[in-house]
Structure 1
């Protein structure tokens, strides 16, 4: 049973942003500090990746653990109310992520995903960016 009205819940869900989130901003700051230059949310690419490194032909997504079902993560829990609706929605998100990744790879792009739980420490972000994007060029 939900503790707020349907209208209030709808308003709360509407306020969840998909761009310029705290985890995304943390990744952008770290990438910039590493000297990486990027473009944001390129709509001409499948899935409009959060960061695009054109010279390195790399698309980076900063995924929320809950919304994109980060396997084994404590933040990817299953809701207790309206379970059927949420499982369907979350499974659709995962299927879309797989499709998007495949489309980008078919176009010759390297796809990198940084999970929300990995953005808590700048060192973790830097390690991922260095390993996945720099390829010893940073």
Structure 2
């Protein structure tokens, strides 16, 4: 079971590392998109969310307070889904479809992160293959 959970953690955080690198290397472009969605201080928000994703994904991947890492991902994903992927406001059918896909992806990932949080907060160190036990 320990190895399966480790493989699940690796596969789950893969997306966040790629996204975080984009946030940190293409900050100007992504901040422009965030500004168009009404995000305050979009450049700071873009860079900050990139750092948040890296830290949270590393915590979950390495098993360093994995429960907190998973919870941080939920804190990132839920507002992102509603603020950045507002498909219900789109009038262009193609844009609406793209935003709906991104919205659903973020909600699904938030659900997965909540499951990781529950597993680590509940079972925690008994899963093994982690650096620390749970924080919560």
TM category (shorter chain) comes to 0.3 to 0.5
More strand by share: 1
More helix by share: 2
- TM-score under structure 2 normalisation? 0.36
